[in-house]
Chains A and B, each alone.
Chain A
Amino acid sequence: MTLTHLNARGEAHMVDVADKPESRREARARGRIRMQPATLALLAEGGLPKGDVLATARIAGIQAAKRTHELIPLCHALALSKVTLDFELDSTQGCVWVEAFCRLNGRTGVEMEALTAVSVACLTLYDMCKAVDKAMIIDGVQLEEKRGGRSGDFSRQAQQTQEAAADVQPAVRGENPLHGETPVVSVRFLAELRERLGTEQTELDPAQLAVADIAGVKRALMAADPRYALLEEGRVLAACNQIMATDATPVAPGDEVAFFPPVTGG
């Protein structure tokens, strides 16, 4: 593996692509901006002082993709044939997901364009909302997939599935780990609760949940094994994807639910 932007003397240089064949290139990147629930609600209602936030961020992302070569020193200027920006308001995780897709028929990949579009769209969201929330965090900016070109295709999801398959946790007390097409709900237990259950981790098929929330996860566990009656004894706290949850917090396939006793640090 070599770094293509360095020449034999280790100096930065732009790769000469004149002799590379043209091919269909596509890239999809994603990122998010986390914010207070109140900010997200204002954004959803269109109540922010600077006006239509998502429309502005979409135009900013498209413009940024087209101007990537002006920002990133060794990027080629590309005539993109398609740039799209999608936004998803996620009240469970308190964030706006930003996804960019770029395409062209050409000689270089478009992943830098997709990543730049996501980054600038997130920055624009920050700018549009900062009057009401300065603590917003932009994170998780990453390439999801790319197609075409000599280096071949890349898909983060496929890579993660492979890694997960290579790292299968042993089944806990005969419960089958379900590594298939449908993502499972993984459940972990911490501290004294883990010791009393004798279990660190288990998995639920989302089909086992009569109601897809934390209370539903508890009921499904208790139906599978009476030991889990401990989840109803005394005060047991829960988190979904590492955010504090209540019985009514929704749980989706692929989520990680954790149960633990009241905290005693400090």
Chain B
Amino acid sequence: MNTDGRYLRLTVLSIVGFGLMLPIVLGFWQTGRAAFGLFPALGRDTLSLAPWRELVTLPGFGTSLKLTLVTGIGATVFSLLLATGFCAAVHSRITPGAGARMLTPFLAIPHAALAVGLAFVLAPSGWIARGLAPFVGWDRPPDLATVNDTWGLALIVGLMIKEVPFLLLVILSALTQIPVAKHVSAGRSLGYGRGVVWIKIIMPQVWPMIRLPVWVVLAYALSVVDVAMILGPSNPPTLAVAITRWFNAADPGQIMPASAGAILQVLIIALGIAVFVLGECLMRRVGRWWLRRGGRGLSTEPGLQLASVITVVLMAIGMLAMLSLLIWSLAWRWPFPQFLPESWSLRSWVNSSNGWQRALSNTVFLAITTTVLSVALAIAWLEGEDRARRGRAAWAEALIYLPLVIPQVGFLYGLNIAFLKIGISGDMTAVIWAQALFVFPYVMIALSDPWRALNRRTLDSAASLGAGPLKRLVKIKLPILLRPILTATAIGVAVSVAQYLPTLFMGAGRIATLTTEAVTLSSGSDRRVTGVYAALQTMLPLVAYLAAFLIPAFLHRNRRDLNGTIQT
């Protein structure tokens, strides 16, 4: 029996259990009680289904539900199709490293900032319309519902700009484990078109590796609040936004149906995942039949072209959105048909400097603390696995993904009450804790593969040279894994910076971050100040990614195997 690292593993397990899982359970417990009529503070103390009855009769409930399903499943399916098509079209031409660098800005930009920028670009008075205005002869914005449209199309586009790059990266990294080029040439020599080879041969191998990330995307798209507030329809909004509004309604009684809605949100995600699992089974059957038919289907080429074109257009719109944030923050007057501001000014930066400096320092503090804690915990976890010389059990893998597939609105309100009871709500501790629930999984996922890819023999060599576990960790693993550790750190920073609901709920609104301020300001009239916050919000993760790229490149400038010319 191997007892190496048992204490380390027990410690990690109890931190993960009590620190990360227990709060989620407590949060759901509180929310669940309110959903079934138990809320003593409002004098409700009998178990009942009344909140559910109230929920379904709230105005617009049915539409909200439908919108949620359409935008959530739609955005995920389209993102998956585009990412697959784009990968099939360009895979032979880009290395995973180059792909990752190209996609980084899209992964780094917080959802809310992108949504704000997109609203600047897509709105009837936005950049695209301004660009078209001279040719079409618009002197005032066209009466077109290009954002906040009742079908949620703008919301779907907004989600896709974030999710397509994410899925691309996930697929690209999964592809490194498959001899793609060989399979493609083998397939093509048998007379199958490029796209068909991808559908029939590559994707069935890739799917098991990307299934979980796809579920994460699906869960996110079904329960997102900030992006849906900015780009989605408002009357009625998607269910997650509606729930957030009901939690904050003037009539406190609405907390009960809101809680029921929060629990429903969990069921919706479970349903969404079930739909995907069912689709997978169906595809497997149909696919096998289709495979055996041996159809060569050479006509996929236009589909691939289309997917590539749409992906490139989406990325271009995303870039414009990021640029527009900066331009708005530097504009003074910028009336409609003009393509560029009439007058420029730094006043928006100067006048709001008290506000953004404080928000910036809060954001930086939270990002660093949360990420350092999460990275340390992730390293402790992985080191524990190493010392035990064993891999990860399926339940542990599920534990890591859990916070990413459950809706934030589902348990944050309840968790806030639990935090209030132990007296930490409204301060930094509570926010750090709540953010870590989401930062840790991403850090863990980002670090796991490179950590395990580290050659075991290298470590055995070190051990045979007399290096004990601690020396192996500090002198061998951490330095060799510097780049992936810093990349995981940058991802952690990006996730922390982007957190909206956890910061808002746990910070009692007192802890203003760039994200909470940007979302609040996006409901105001001054696009320029919103631009300041959103631009800062975008820059912070980019700086983190840049550091993650430059620091190893500098420290390992004389180490060919580590300085980025070859990806570890």
The finding on whether chains A and B are genuine partners in a shared complex, rather than unrelated, reads no
Contacts from A to B (Cβ < 8 Å): none
